[in-house]
Structure 1
């Protein structure tokens, strides 16, 4: 027989059995009496039998209703016991999840994600491979990481991309710099300053070279680094300014560092989760993916 009712209908039935009054039973499960009545009618229609005899003052179970009450009570007890067991299994689950992430994304996403995930799965370990975009892609395609967090680029075949955050580039400078007081800075003006660059192995460098190829820097960079975090250390030390993804900047107000939006053009990158198509993930890897996407995934109409 097709099942045309759900657990909420059974909980409504149980409440009415317990209290014998539509008003009191409805209050106990936060429904209106009319909504409770509709649930009972739905259940009776699905079963093809009358469950209650109704009078103006009280409702009582029919013979069929008494039998159904015993069986449905056992069913609900089993469901609640199963859910309790699942919670217990979650708490006791162990294992390792490996995530590859570009350093700025690791800084922006992972501390909060790891804290929340370990509150749910305290015995699961997370290994974080924080490296360049190319290394992140390689770790995912070779199966060295369960999934990765990287910015959109030329994805190899067989790799899926789930957009998470749209990130803009900003000029990082010291708070005591005159530039920190500006509302924005054009790229041409940026390249007229003493600035720190990224070397050609950096995914950020490749992205900027592609999008800013029409702009000829007025001077070369003072020095080049491989990672954005090293650039920020140089800025903090007063070596120069740097163009960095906004998500790489300190999330709380920093005593030394500030940032200014870069314009003409505004340069954006989309950071997302990458995974191998068709790969069967472990339960805990799927749960960690779910935590990240539910918290950060871009709305469909905002995806590139």
Structure 2
């Protein structure tokens, strides 16, 4: 059974004030509207709650039994709302964003550190997921915006390109290749290479750019994640090809990133947001810091 909250509110107000006039004034209603609420409540219950005369209003036996129960309903509701309000105050404001793992490792720590310095009470949650998962989270509203690869976009998302990032060969700094200013894809033939899974957007970009030439390369290993590919290079198992920003700062101390040409393969990083939905002020500020950080990266041409 649906609870007629407005009717109960009207009933309690009349019972406590002893008149329709005083109750209507308290609830900021006309007496006609108040009478309508009581009539609807009584009809829904199938019983009379108030005994009306020209001079006074009194409770029937059923009304007398209902009054303490109705009061308890509103007291419990008020307590529950107060608890929710306190919980919200304890949690505080939060911002959730989606971000490619490679960008989350390299660019986001400094961005978030600066944001937290400005807003120490705002909680940040980063969903470091794949491009498709980021789009899902932004589309559902779980993330306010996403930092991802610019590709075929969904109709209800806006996409803004920010920076074009080249793919590079990652090799140990003590390798002879590390001294080369750049390398062609032909020069990679015969080298043991670590390949990223076909499920990733990075792999698709490389395969599309190389076409049939990709079959001439010695793809010795295949892994699912960029971090695994980097660990294979560190162990001396071979070389890998990654977007330049995928090589985090720590790895860059012992590994070198060599530009690749003929062809130059790039990916475009951008920001996706829900179409027609304005960002919260905190999310807008965080987004601005992210864009500035991406644009400030020193990328090979």
Smaller-chain TM-score bracket: 0.5 to 0.7
Which deviations, in whole Å up to 9, do the C-alpha atoms of 1:205-249 show, x marking residues without a partner? 111111221414324422111221221111111111000011112
Structure 1 residues 72-83: aligned runs within 5 Å: none
1:211 aligns to what?
A: 209
The change in CA–CA distance for 1:297 and 1:158 in structure 2 (over 3 A counts) is farther
- Which range moved further: 105-114 or 167-176? 105-114
The change in CA–CA distance for 1:176 and 1:133 in structure 2 (over 3 A counts) is same
2:288 aligns to what?
A: 290
Q: How many aligned residue pairs are there? A: 207
- The whole-number CA distance in structure 1 between the counterparts of 2:265 and 2:273 is 25
State the secondary structure of the residue aligned to 2:190.
coil
Counterpart among 218, 228, 231 of residue 230 in structure 1: 228
Task: Give structure 2 stretches of 5+ with no counterpart.
Answer: 1-89, 297-301
State the secondary structure of the residue aligned to 1:98.
strand
Residues 159 and 277, structure 1, Cα contact 8 Å, conserved in 2: yes
Which deviations, in whole Å up to 9, do the C-alpha atoms of 1:114-167 show, x marking residues without a partner? 011001100111111112112112221222211100011111112112222221
Structure 1 residues 1-304: aligned runs within 5 Å: 94-251=92-249, 254-296=252-294
TM-score relative to the length of structure 2: 0.64
- The whole-number CA distance in structure 2 between the counterparts of 1:156 and 1:128 is 21
- The whole-number CA distance in structure 2 between the counterparts of 1:283 and 1:107 is 25
RMSD: 2.2
Which deviations, in whole Å up to 9, do the C-alpha atoms of 1:49-101 show, x marking residues without a partner? xxxxxxxxxxxxxxxxxxxxxxxxxxxxxxxxxxxxxxxxxxx9941111111
Tell me which structure has the larger Cα radius of gyration.
2
Residues 146 and 273, structure 2, Cα contact 8 Å, conserved in 1: yes
The change in CA–CA distance for 1:248 and 1:216 in structure 2 (over 3 A counts) is closer
TM-score relative to the length of structure 1: 0.63
The change in CA–CA distance for 1:93 and 1:296 in structure 2 (over 3 A counts) is farther
- How far is the alpha carbon of 1:255 from its aligned partner? 4.0
Residues 100 and 136, structure 1, Cα contact 8 Å, conserved in 2: yes
Which deviations, in whole Å up to 9, do the C-alpha atoms of 1:7-31 show, x marking residues without a partner? xxxxxxxxxxxxxxxxxxxxxxxxx
- The whole-number CA distance in structure 1 between the counterparts of 2:186 and 2:215 is 7
- How far is the alpha carbon of 1:260 from its aligned partner? 0.9
- The whole-number CA distance in structure 1 between the counterparts of 2:214 and 2:148 is 28
